[in-house]
């Protein structure tokens, strides 16, 4: 697997390496600790190359553990959108890749940043209590949401999208720093191919096959 460092991680990595180089000749134990910290920073901000399925399917927006699948309303408070959705929650531990990806080809309708708390991201109430960034998008006549949610440790959500931007499935859309959660809201008529408790890979694991495309490579359904 090819690895590179996400742009958001370079500042942390360079500063950590410089401090390590300065400290280690004088304080060996502390220097070793800082060296390990530098390695972890690189590991946390890693941005691996992913094999994006060519078929017209929905892929996972993040790496992590599926903690919830169920019916939900729009995540936007006071929204005019009264449709029902299937909400899929993915918890990202501090050891998961934190780069978020677009789950489907779409046009961005709006991006809504909402300040909030920093509760444990495994709790379902973090969906509407925590600091979050709600991305509202459309493909043809289907609408869906991607919600980047800060966690207990996370203190910054980065979103690289803009209103009216056309994005492609698998595109990098941002990153949540240090432990977090991503909620994906799909139309109710989309079939769901994953289960609660399953681990998913951003940009690769197929979450839904709305057009029931046959002969999808089973190796991708992981």
d(CA 216, CA 19): 49
180 is catalytic: yes
Tokens of 42: 């690189």
Residues 6 or more apart in contact with residue 210 via CB below 8 angstroms: 56, 57, 58, 142, 187, 189, 190, 191
d(CA 131, CA 61): 18
Least Cα distance to 98 among 177, 3, 2 occurs for 177
Residues 6 or more apart in contact with residue 54 via CB below 8 angstroms: none
Tokens of 8: 């958001």
Least Cα distance to 88 among 104, 109, 111 occurs for 104
Q: Spot the catalytic one: 38, 180, 208, 218.
A: 180
Is residue 35 within 8 A of residue 76, CB to CB? The reply is no
Round to the nearest angstrom and report the end-to-end CA distance of the chain: 16
Is residue 112 within 8 A of residue 81, CB to CB? The reply is no
Which residues belong to the active site? 180
């Amino acid at each position: 697997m090819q690895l590179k460092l996400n742009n958001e991680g370079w500042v942390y990595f360079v500063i950590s390496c410089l401090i390590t180089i300065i400290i280690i000749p004088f304080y060996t134990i502390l220097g070793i600790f800082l060296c390990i910290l530098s390695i972890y920073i690189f590991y946390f901000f890693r941005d691996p190359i992913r094999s994006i399925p060519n078929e017209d399917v929905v892929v996972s927006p993040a790496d992590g553990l599926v903690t919830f699948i169920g019916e939900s309303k729009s995540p936007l408070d006071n929204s005019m959108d009264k449709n029902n959705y299937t909400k899929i929650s993915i918890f990202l531990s501090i050891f998961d890749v934190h780069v978020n990806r677009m789950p489907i080809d779409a046009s961005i309708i709006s991006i809504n940043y909402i300040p909030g708390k920093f509760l444990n991201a495994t709790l379902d109430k973090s969906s509407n209590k925590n600091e979050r960034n709600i991305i509202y998008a459309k493909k043809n006549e289907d609408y869906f949401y991607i919600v980047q949610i800060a966690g207990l440790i996370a203190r910054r959500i980065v979103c690289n999208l803009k209103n009216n931007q056309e994005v492609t499935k698998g595109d990098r859309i941002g990153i949540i720093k240090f432990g977090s959660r991503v909620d994906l809201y799909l139309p109710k008529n989309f079939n769901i191919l994953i289960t609660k408790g399953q681990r998913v890979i951003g940009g690769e694991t197929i979450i839904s096959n709305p057009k029931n495309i046959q002969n999808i490579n089973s190796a991708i359904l992981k």
